[in-house]
Amino acid sequence: MRNIKMTIEYDGGRYLGWQRLGDSDKSIQGKIEHILTQLTGSPTEIIGSGRTDAGTHARGQIANFKTESGMDLNTMQEILIRNLPQDIIVKELKEVHERFHSRYNAKGKQYSYHVWNHVIPSAFERNYSFHYPEKLNIENMQKACHKLTGTHDFIGFSALKKTKKSTVRTIDKITIEKKGNLIHFTFVGNGFLHKMVRIITGTLLEIGAGTLEPEAIDDIFESGVRSDAGITVPSQGLFLDEVFYEK
């Protein structure tokens, strides 16, 4: 039995997210599994490194699947690219150790979020960024980023209800880079809760606009209450850039 690791890029704009949902063909996982099952001649399930929500994009989603097919991987990749929708691309296939698991072996992830920061929206960036017209104090946003890095309980920055699972995560780095009217947020950490990146981004934007002070981060950590944090920015500006594994 072969274990195949996949690196996948997709535009999530017209999908309900990564995870297969019943008989719906509106998921990334479902689309890929359908083609792989036809290719291998037997039902094939792929395991993703994690879920992405409806409308979220990926530059480097990782998944793996097991198969008894002896097909050459270059040929398999060519067939997948040819038969999948153009907004889903299998960038690489690689045979890995039988015990490799794309979700359980992941050590961290990098996400990015793009904001179009101008009074006038952009016709070209609208599908891949969030239009936020308010003037932003980048310095205050940077101060808040320093408070967010490190190991904390991020329940107040998530869409989770009460859960028995740990909501403690470590953010190694948050960067903010402005290029013209586009602001790029990058988040690197060992894991992220449901909608955590989108809520943190919304909170940082409200701090930049002056609705919240940088010290609000401390208050949210202390209270653990979602409503104390900022808005949940929409999914079209969010990208899963990379998943990290031990070499």
Write out pLDDT tens, residues 198-246: 999 999 999 999 999 999 999 999 999 999 999 999 999 999 999 999 8
Task: Please check the confidence at residue 162 and state whether its pLDDT lies above 80.
Answer: no
What is the pLDDT at residue 22? 74
Give the separation between CA 204 and CA 140, rounded to whole angstroms. Answer: 9
The mean predicted confidence, pLDDT, of the chain is 96
Give the separation between CA 195 and CA 49, rounded to whole angstroms. Answer: 16
Beta strands in the chain (DSSP E): 2-10, 47-48, 57-67, 88-96, 108-116, 130-131, 150-153, 168-179, 182-189, 238-244
Name the architecture of domain 2-96.
2-Layer Sandwich (3.30)
Structure tokens at 156: 């107040």
Give the separation between CA 17 and CA 30, rounded to whole angstroms. Answer: 10
What is the pLDDT at residue 206? 98
Q: 174: closest CA among 191, 157, 162, 187?
A: 187
Give the separation between CA 118 and CA 97, rounded to whole angstroms. Answer: 48
Residue 21: pLDDT band with limits 50, 70, 90: confident
Structure tokens at 22: 């019943």
Name the architecture of domain 108-244.
2-Layer Sandwich (3.30)
- Residue 53: active-site member: yes
Give the separation between CA 148 and CA 157, rounded to whole angstroms. Answer: 10
Give the separation between CA 83 and CA 58, rounded to whole angstroms. Answer: 19
Structure tokens at 154: 């991020």
What is the pLDDT at residue 23? 64
What is the pLDDT at residue 129? 98
Pure H helices in 84-195 = 138-148
Q: What is the pLDDT of residues 28-44, one digit of tens each?
A: 999 999 999 999 999 99
Task: Give me the catalytic one of 25, 53, 153, 241.
Answer: 53
Q: What is the pLDDT of residues 60-98, one digit of tens each?
A: 999 999 999 999 999 999 999 999 999 999 999 999 999
**What is the residue extent of each domain of the chain?**
2-96, 108-244
Q: What is the pLDDT of residues 40-51, one digit of tens each?
A: 999 999 999 999
Contact 246, 64 (CB under 8 A): no
Find the radius of gyration of the CA atoms of the chain.
19
What is the pLDDT at residue 163? 78
* The domains spanning 2-96 and 108-244 adopt the same CATH topology: yes
